[in-house]
Amino acid sequence: MAEEVMKTHDREFSSRPSLLALIWEIRKICVLHLFSSKRAQSFRPILENEVLGMIKKISKSVSASKLTNLSEILPSLTNAIICRVAFGKSYDDEGCERSRFHRLLAEFQTSLGGFYFSDYFPLMGWVDKLSGMTSQLEKIFKESDSFDQEIIDEHLHPSSPKPEQEIL
């Protein structure tokens, strides 16, 4: 096998791009543009605003002598910060967009934790199709693509009126 790769088909294998180089290129772009200290400082007001909101929630529940569950509050804070940085708005407010966003997140997380036969036994991929796991993934990805496209359209055309959506 090694002889065939090294001698017979050496041109095919030597001309293939190195995946490691691609990974390092992506990493370099992320470090220079996304994770730079200047970029992080630009998000500081968002971070401070969300942390202040979390502190107010905690102090309100403490003053009402309610039990404070940090296991619910901290993921909510993380979600709020990421949404405001990535999408430019918070999905913590009640409404149609919030429920759609949280439903998509829940379905996505559930599907990621699922057991797919094709991951472990590639020839058994038909079991995933038979069980409906593949169609469920495709449905989630289509909904996610639609949601992402709406966000992109909002950023490209911020002044255009938003189409009315039916609440199912």
pLDDT of 166 reads 33
Q: How far out from the chain centre does Cα 33 lie? A: 19
Q: How confident is the model at residue 10 (pLDDT cuts 50, 70, 90)?
A: low
Q: Could you tell me how many residues make up the chain?
A: 168
Question: What is the gyration radius of the CA atoms in the chain, in angstroms?
Answer: 23
Query: Coil, helix or strand for 101?
Result: helix
pLDDT in tens, 57-110: 999 988 988 888 888 889 889 888 988 888 888 877 666 777 888 888 889 888
Q: How far out from the chain centre does Cα 146 lie? A: 14
> What's the whole-number mean pLDDT along residues 20-32?
85
Find the range with the poorest average confidence among 1-5, 9-13, 84-88, 145-149: 9-13
Find the range with the poorest average confidence among 25-29, 71-75, 95-99, 154-158: 95-99
- Give me 44's structure tokens: 């500081």
Cα–Cα distances in angstroms (integers) from residue 106 to residues 93, 102, 110, in the given order = 17, 6, 6
E strand residue ranges, the chain: none
Cα–Cα distances in angstroms (integers) from residue 127 to residues 113, 115, 117, in the given order = 17, 11, 7
pLDDT in tens, 34-57: 788 888 888 899 999 999 999 999
What letter represents residue 49's amino acid?
N
Average of per-residue pLDDT values in the chain: 83
% of the chain at pLDDT higher than 70: 82
Closest C-alpha to 138, from 108, 109, 93? 108
What letter represents residue 76's amino acid?
S
Residue 116 carries which DSSP code? -
C-alpha angle with apex 148: 145 to 154, nearest 5 degrees? 140
pLDDT of 17 reads 62
